């Protein structure tokens, strides 16, 4: 029997989902079919894991860093052979090679301190292999940055990339009381659908463009580009070609303008 006196390691984001109703709604948002191979990152004690296995999914791969959770997760795998457990750091694994299947969907309560790097990693390594949907529990502020598809102060390199690859929608707001230990932040579940431009996350030109443009949010594009080594005169030509004001900032650009910049210029 699993120990009831598990000591949570909040340094690695161990705020486990305990609300089964929320877990059910997360899985419902993923719309899992018998053809789907699902990846879960950070299964914890398995509340969300069990709910995923209640669907007709073809297989579930769960990646967990903390080996102490084996006493909670191994019995689930013994009961259902569709579950494969991978012990390790999801950020250090090569998800295209180190897991037994290429997932079509990701369903996860992500450790909040690694949200941005892990979403980038999922896009880089799994989108080219057929990943079509992610349903992720994240901190509310991180959700806002990914949901900001239109112009606005929360626009981010990741949000622009997600907009270019498909669309992001908010599925659920989740109160702190749905977790143990109770976090000091509010949470949101977002759904990310991917249906185009699967090469963008691994395109060096796209990434360099976004890094240069968003490097200092208080500065305009011209100043940021100049700091990245683009001559001011060249930057002015690009701004003019996009029909922007000279003091335009990165958060003001539309997706079409980003795509034009990426495809029409060197970075």
Q: What is the pLDDT of residues 135-191, one digit of tens each?
A: 999 999 999 989 866 567 788 999 999 999 999 999 999 999 999 999 999 999 999
**Has 163 been labeled as part of a binding site?**
no
**Has 197 been labeled as part of a binding site?**
no
Helix, strand, coil abundance in the chain, percent, nearest 5: 45, 20, 40
**Has 66 been labeled as part of a binding site?**
no
Domain ranges of the chain: 10-199, 203-264
Instruction: Tell me which CATH code domain 203-264 carries.
Output: 1.10.8.100
**Has 69 been labeled as part of a binding site?**
no
**Has 11 been labeled as part of a binding site?**
no
Q: What is the pLDDT of residues 90-131, one digit of tens each?
A: 999 999 999 999 999 999 999 899 999 999 999 999 999 999
Residue for token pair 């990846």:
39
**Cα→Cα distances 46→104, 105, 146, 232, 258, Å:** 20, 18, 26, 54, 40
C-alpha Rg value of the chain to the nearest Å: 20
Fold of 10-199: Rossmann fold (3.40.50)
**Has 46 been labeled as part of a binding site?**
no
């Amino acid at each position: 029997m699993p120990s009831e006196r598990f000591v949570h390691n909040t340094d690695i984001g161990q705020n486990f989902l305990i609300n089964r109703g929320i877990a059910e709604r997360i899985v419902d948002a993923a719309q899992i079919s018998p053809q789907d191979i699902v990846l879960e990152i950070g299964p914890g004690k398995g509340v969300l894991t069990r709910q995923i296995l209640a669907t007709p999914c073809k297989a579930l791969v769960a990646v967990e860093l903390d080996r102490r959770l084996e006493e909670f997760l191994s019995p689930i795998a013994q009961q259902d052979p569709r579950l494969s457990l991978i012990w390790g750091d999801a950020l250090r694994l090569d998800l295209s090679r180190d897991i037994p299947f290429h997932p079509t969907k990701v369903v996860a309560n992500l450790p909040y301190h690694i949200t941005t790097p892990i979403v980038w990693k999922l896009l880089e390594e799994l989108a080219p292999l057929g990943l079509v949907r992610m349903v992720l529990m994240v901190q509310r502020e991180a959700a806002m940055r990914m949901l900001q598809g239109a112009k606005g102060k929360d626009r981010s390199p990741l949000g622009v990339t997600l907009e270019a690859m498909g669309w992001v929608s908010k599925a659920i707001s989740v109160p702190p009381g749905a977790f143990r230990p109770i976090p000091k932040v509010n949470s949101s579940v977002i759904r990310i659908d991917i249906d185009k431009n699967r090469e963008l996350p691994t395109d060096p030109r796209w990434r360099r463009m976004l890094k240069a443009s968003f490097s200092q949010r208080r500065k305009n594009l011209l100043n940021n580009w100049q700091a990245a080594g683009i001559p001011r005169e060249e930057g002015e030509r690009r701004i003019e070609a996009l029909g922007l004001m000279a003091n335009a900032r990165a958060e003001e650009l539309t997706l079409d303008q980003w795509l034009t910049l990426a495809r029409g210029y060197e970075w």
